[in-house]
Each structure stands twice: as structure tokens, then as C-alpha cells.
Amino acid sequence: MDEPAQAACPSCGAAGRPVADKTIRAILTPAQASPMLAVERRFCRTPSCELVYYGEDGRAIGKGDVPVRVGLKEREDPVPLCYCFGFSRADVRVELALGGQCTIPARIAAEIRAGRCACAIKNPSGACCLGDVNRAVQEEQEALQAEAQSQAHLRRTGIA
Ligand SMILES: [Zn+2]
């Protein structure tokens, strides 16, 4: 089933995720929130796209104007991953470098089971962060492996 045309981000064209009123109220300033609350609005998940929220009529708010850093759209630290418990991409990197295993997804899952997460009002996407966290762990693991392989290659070829 095709998404209706107004679901597409006016900047990148990808269909964003609908965002609840409570997310808009919690993340944006009151002055930013009221025009967004007046229309159906979505969160753009495209990492390279500058827009964070856009309305069905084309009104939009970019990442430079949103009061919190949108981790999905940032490449430089701090890159927030989990807004409820404060984990960032740097935390994932440190754990992987120290122990080879990342315990962060399991720790977040335990907090969710204990009913302590509030993604709907803390995460700018309004959705649970766990999928994004798992993706970030995977990416950082691959980056570490690629680095280890290139160092091993340098040693074998006698350059290092
Ligand atoms: Zn977009």
C-alpha cells in the first residue's frame, strides 16, 4: 500500500513517521509547537536530511531549530542514542573498545521492562530507541573490525 503523497518529507521525499501531540509538546518550545500541533505532522528519519518535523502542508522545523540534538541526524559527538537513560554513541564505542561486547541494549531493555522509559516524550522521534541503538552497536562494531583488519594488513605487509 502506498503512503499518501503528503506523508513525504518536503526536503528528502522519504515518508516520515507520524508524531503524537505529546512528543511535539515535550520536544519543541511552545512557540514552535503550536503551528505543528495545528496540522498532521511527521518525523523525518533520513540521516542526511536537515528537516526534523514537517506538516502535511509543507511547514517544517529543521534540526538547527529543534532544542535537542537529533542523534539520527548527527555524525559528531555527542550523538544521543537513548534519550530516556542518556546513552550516546560514544558510550557504545567505549564499551566495545574495552570489552568487545556492548551491554547497552540489554540495559535499556531491562529499563523498558521495568517501565522506566519515556520515549514518547523524550525521544524526538517519539518512538522507542532500541532499534536505533542496536543499529548503532552494529555500525560501531563493523568500524572497529575494519580498523583491526587494516592494522593487521599493515603489519603483514611490513608497513607498520
Ligand atoms: Zn527529510
Q: How far is the CA of 51 from the centre of ligand 1 (A)?
A: 5
Provide block-wise average pLDDT over 10 residues at a time, the chain (160 residues): 67 96 98 97 96 95 97 94 96 90 95 93 95 94 90 81
Q: How far is the CA of 107 from the centre of ligand 1 (A)?
A: 31
Residue 44: other Cβ atoms inside 10 A = 28
Q: What is the pLDDT of residue 3?
A: 47
CA distance 57 to 47: 22
Q: How far is the CA of 130 from the centre of ligand 1 (A)?
A: 21
Q: What is the pLDDT of residue 6?
A: 56
Q: What is the pLDDT of residue 25?
A: 97
Q: How far is the CA of 157 from the centre of ligand 1 (A)?
A: 44
What is the model's pTM? Answer: 0.86
The full set of domains in the chain, from first to last, is 5-65 (2.20.25.270), 74-156 (1.10.10)
Q: What is the pLDDT of residue 101?
A: 87
CA distance 140 to 159: 26
CA distance 111 to 38: 34
| Bond preceding residue 78 cis, omega within 30 of 0 | yes
Q: How far is the CA of 49 from the centre of ligand 1 (A)?
A: 5
Q: How far is the CA of 91 from the centre of ligand 1 (A)?
A: 27
